[in-house]
Amino acid sequence: MSAAEPRTELDPRYSSPGAEPDHWADGRELLSGAELYWLTTVRPDGRPHVTPLIGVWWQGALHFSTGAEERKARNLAANAEVVLTTGTNTWAEGFDVVVEGRAERVTDAALLTVLARAWEAKYGEFWHFDVADGVFVGAQGNRAEVFAVSPRKVFGFGKGDRFTQTRWHFA
């Protein structure tokens, strides 16, 4: 099993009778195509902090950016463990994904350049970034640190005619 191919299991307690586990390709597709993600970090005093953001799934990790002085960046400096979620905001249809992992700072200029192009391709020219000094630089000169979250565990929640709770465990 490679990092790209997780171990898959269905939790029958929260799945319809006879349900099969969802395929990782479906979870990966949702992570790749989602426009909005919710990031949960932990404040220094232990309280959670949740915020919506945009991001790019690239080479097995979900990437997001934030200003160095924003609450999420300050939280990550103290505790890099995060949860990222995306999906549908409905009960009886759709698919939701919850990613558990560690946010690692990306500073490599070549990778940041690739990611900046991916951001613009996904979200349009409003989200154009240049790269300098290990960060994204926006049109107004604002700087954003970029983080990658490689999944340790991902939960997939299928809803509708067939409810599923699938777990994907990564090495």
The DSSP bridge pattern shows strands 135-137 and 94-106 to be unpaired
Coil, strand, or helix at residue 162?
Answer: coil
Those residues of the chain that have pLDDT short of 70 are 1-4
What confidence score (pLDDT) does residue 1 get?
36
Q: What are the pLDDT digits (tens) for 95-142?
A: 999 999 999 999 999 999 999 999 999 999 999 999 999 999 998 999
Q: Which residues make Cβ contacts (< 8 Å) with residue 48, sequence separation at least 6?
A: 40, 41, 42
Distances (CA, A) of 70 to 49, 65, 74, 117, 144: 11, 10, 6, 23, 10
- In angstroms, rounded to a whole number, what is the distance separating the alpha carbons of residues 28 and 33? 9
What confidence score (pLDDT) does residue 4 get?
67
What confidence score (pLDDT) does residue 117 get?
98
Tally of residues, the chain: 171
